[in-house]
Amino acid sequence: MNPLHSLENRIMGPLGDLLGGAVLTTLARLVFLATLAVFFWTSATTKLGEGVLGFVSPSTGAYAQILPVQIEAVGYDASQLGVISWLVVVAGTWAEFVLPLLIIIGLFTRSAALAMIGFIVVMSIVDVVGHGAGATTIGAWFDNVPDAKILDQRALWILLLLIPLTKGAGPLSIDAFFLRRRF
């Protein structure tokens, strides 16, 4: 290795070690809270039905967001859809509430991050196939426009979630508490 690379490694190595551990995992969860959690929670609230049992009685809008082709085919009458459709919509709604919360508090963080990545992939497929997202919304990689809602933004979301998936929640988490207590 040449002297310039050696110098860089001596200077930047300790910084990488510091940021690569507790700081990175905690910061990833904080950034998720600051940028994505409220987005998902707000989306989930639009799917709740009326009243106390709204969390098990999704709104028509929930079906329109999650199963757009199916709900349109029955004239937006969710009662004509089966139990499987209801389960998919309820599970999708609950996932938008529960998965971000698990990541933020650091409980079952790796599983929640993996599930959240899966959720984002499915959400993107529904946006493209079910809602017919256009080329501008889908975007393209390696272009000069870094703000397309699907390919650009969601790739960054997934990259952010890869941190807790691969490194865990970090020391300021319920997962770490349980590991220390050896429950």
Q: Could you list the residue range(s) of the whole structural domain that residue 51 is in?
A: 31-181
Average pLDDT, integer, range 45-64:
93
Residue 4 lies in a domain: no
Residue 119 lies in a domain: yes
| pLDDT tens by residue, 151-182 | 999 999 999 999 999 999 999 999 999 988 87
Whole-number pLDDT of residue 69: 95
Whole-number pLDDT of residue 165: 97
In the predicted structure, residue 76 carries a pLDDT above the cut 90: yes
Residue 14 lies in a domain: no
Whole-number pLDDT of residue 183: 54
| pLDDT tens by residue, 91-103 | 999 999 999 999 9
% residues pLDDT > 70 (the chain) = 99
Average pLDDT, integer, range 48-74:
94
SS (HEC) of the chain: CCHHHHHHHHHHHHHHHHHHHHHHHHHHHHHHHHHHHHHHHHHHHCCCCCCHHHHCCCCHHHHHHHCHHHHHHCCCCHHHCCHHHHHHHHHHHHHHHHHHHHHHHCCCHHHHHHHHHHHHHHHHHHHHHHCCCCHHHHCCCCCCCCCCCCHHHHHHHHHHHHHHHHHCCCCCCHHHHHHHHCC
The domain total for the chain is 1
Residue 82 lies in a domain: yes
Residue 19 lies in a domain: no
Residue 133 lies in a domain: yes
Residue 12 lies in a domain: no
Residue 18 lies in a domain: no
| pLDDT tens by residue, 21-51 | 788 999 999 999 999 999 999 999 999 999 9
